[in-house]
Amino acid sequence: MAQTIKLKRSATQGAIPTTSSLELGEVAINTYDGKMYIKKNDGSDSIVELGTGGDAPAGGVWTEYLYTATAGQTAFTGSDDNSNTLSFLTGYIQVFFNGILLDPAVDYTTSGNTVTLTVGASLSDVIQVAAFSKVLGTGDIIIDSFTGDNTTTTFTMSAAPGVEGNTQLFVDGVYQNKTGYSISGTALTFSEAPATSAAIEVAIGSREISYSDTTAITLSGDVSAVNGTFTGDLTVSGTGAIQVPIGSTAQRPVPAAGQLRYNSTAGKFEGYSNVWSELGGDSALAIALEDEVLLNIGVV
């Protein structure tokens, strides 16, 4: 006779078990959301959703969690105001208290997936935890500082971040919502001029990432690089094709040994060693000399 085994479960949308409701090794299911959870203990108890890799919420490498504090609350963990379970890599988070960035050396500690404030919060204080759930590589952060004068709204940064999302802006230590400023090239423009003597600090992601600790990277889909530099071996598999740069004879770049391109003037692939030469010719070698004269040397 067939038997049915039912695990601890909830049919409520967004419901996540608490650490007190699960034993170590016990599994719980949310039948509405189609998610499974277990409790883990790495020094402190926490709830982990199965299928997200344990330490990382599904869907991205950067996640923000929002908590509304109770009176005197110091520890923040588990489900936040949006039913997202706090998960982060140690050393890769930023914690904000009512919009003010906290100092990890002074204002809070972390253990497992718990953030504990040094001083308890007041009722309805807002705690925001911005967390990296994956580390893809290491990159440089550029810090620019300015001083408000109650008149100037546009400041010139030392680098172009590209978009607002690649910046973090603070005025007198208070984090600024991205709806309050805009980015155009290196110009940072506030919707309202910062007050006189206000300390303005903007953190800019340089968009230069080093993968020095990565032994292999696997990418799917289309990959596009502009002026990219690769060191080591590059292996491309599949049945498609690699498209090399296309340009006329007049558009040839400053030559360097090993360059490959398609010459649209000649209608042929070419490479550079000490001169530009046709690749894969039909028993003839076409050599473009420095004065741009093409010679065809046939095989007799």
Please compute, for residue 218, the number of CA atoms within 13 A of its CA located in the half-sphere on the CB side: 1
Q: Which of 95, 112, 132 is the last residue of a domain?
A: 132
User: What pLDDT, on a 0 to 100 scale, did the predictor assign at position 140?
Assistant: 63
Report the C-alpha gap between 81 and 262 in whole angstroms: 56
| Residue 238 within a domain | no
pTM, to two decimals: 0.40
| Residue 125 shares a structural domain with residue 71 | yes
164 class by beta-carbon count within 10 Å (0-12 exposed, 13-18 middle, 19+ buried): middle
Residue 35 backbone phi and psi in degrees, to 5: -120, 150
147 and 201 part of one domain: yes
Domain range enclosing 119: 62-132
Over the chain (300 residues), the average pLDDT of each successive run of 10 is 61 83 80 75 77 42 84 94 86 85 89 93 91 62 90 93 82 84 92 94 72 61 66 75 87 89 90 85 44 44
In a domain, 55, yes or no: no
E strand or H helix that includes residue 117: strand 114-117
What are the φ and ψ backbone dihedral angles of 251, each rounded to 5 degrees?
-95, 10
Q: Say what the pLDDT of residue 299 is.
A: 45
Instruction: Determine the Cα–Cα distance for residues 184 and 156; give it in Å rounded to an integer.
Output: 10
Judge if 112 and 146 occupy the same domain.
Answer: no
What pLDDT does residue 197 have? 94
Q: Which two tokens stand for residue 90?
A: 């140690």
Query: 160 and 186 in contact (C-beta within 8 Å)?
Result: yes
Give the number of domains in the chain.
4
- Domain for residue 250, yes or no? yes
Number of neighbours of residue 26 by Cβ within 10 angstroms: 13
| 178 within some domain | yes
Residues 6+ apart with CB under 8 A from 269: 244, 260, 261, 262, 263, 278, 279, 280
Domain assignment present for residue 223? The answer is no
d(CA 108, CA 75): 9
**Is residue 222 a part of any domain in this protein?**
no
Identify whether residues 127 and 143 lie together within a single domain: no
- On whether the CB atoms of residues 38 and 48 are closer than 8 A, the answer is yes
Q: Rounded to the nearest 5 degrees, what angle is found at the Cα of 216, between the Cα atoms of 212 and 221?
A: 120
